[in-house]
Amino acid sequence: MRHFLSSAILSISIFVIIGCGGGSTSTNVANPAPKSAASTPAAPVTPVINTTPKVVFIGDSISYLFDAPGFGQPEFSQHSTWIDAGVVGDNTNQILARFQSQVIDAKPDVVVILGGTNDVYPGWQLCVDSEVPKVFLNKINSCTNVEAMVSMAKAAHIAIVLGTVPPWSCSDAVKCALANTADSSPSRYDRINQWNQWLRQYAFDNDIVIADYWSALVSPDEQTYVTANTWDGVHPSAAGYAVMTPIVEAAIQQAVQQ
């Protein structure tokens, strides 16, 4: 009996020493140690998208009329953060000249650049300093003008949308008399196509969003407006701007997300 008790006491002593004493450690199975932060998967981060970006539309009369009563779209004015900086008759020389004051200094999230309709008159050449007698101003190099505006916008961290210029004239000679008076040269269509193709390629090469107004407004002849989409052969009608509006809305959101 004495031997049995001694053995029992020895066993209990060993258990106490191992389980509780002498700096030894024990894992609590019921309450395991918390995982380290490194082993816990991080929650996915959802990017914040600006759904009401401040946008400046800079260009010529096609931009100017976008929100003009009776011509453009009421949807433009319903975008409280959209600013119309179009000026009637401007070519890309003039648009560039006011880009600092009307775009960079305004600090928008996005700029929509639409220029070239008043460049591509007889005498104009793609990416060449061109004498354009119709314009009565200094030589025009449309490519370097757009490149300069893009460079300024990028330096100011402003997202960019480039618009293709609309078609010219229409099948209704009376309705589209302004276009035919301003430039009736058959090569007008070639110059528009050259300019728009350059814009598309430049946008692609530089990861810039394009708003392809021309493709949405042109008739099956791929030269003139769909008659309903213009009111004079130069400018879009209210119906034309209604076609353009969702195109530029989508382009703006794409530019914001880049």
Sheet containing 159-163: which strands, arranged edge to edge? 82-86, 55-59, 110-114, 159-163, 209-211
Q: How far is CA 176 from CA 126, 220, 237, in A?
A: 26, 17, 11
- CATH fold group of domain 55-257: Rossmann fold (3.40.50)
pLDDT above 60 (res 257): yes
| pLDDT tens readout for residues 39-83 | 445 555 444 455 689 999 999 999 999 988 877 777 788 899 999
**Predicted pLDDT of residue 52:** 87
| pLDDT tens readout for residues 1-16 | 444 334 433 343 333 3
Mean pLDDT confidence for 32-43 = 45
Read out DSSP for the chain? -HHHHHHHHHHHHHHHHHHHSTT-----TTSPPPPPGGGSPPPPPPPP--SS--EEEEESHHHHGGG-TTTS-HHHHHSTTEEEEE-TT--HHHHHHTHIIIIITT--SEEEEE--TTT-STT--TTS-B--TTT-SS-B-HHHHHHHHHHHHHHTT-EEEEEPPP----S-TTTTHHHHHH---TTHHHHHHHHHHHHHHHHHHTT-EEE-HHHHHB-TTSSSBPGGGBSSSSSB-HHHHHHHHHHHHHHHHHHHH-
| pLDDT tens readout for residues 162-206 | 999 999 999 999 999 999 999 999 999 999 999 999 999 999 999
Mean pLDDT confidence for 213-227 = 98
**Predicted pLDDT of residue 78:** 87
The predicted model scores a pTM of 0.79
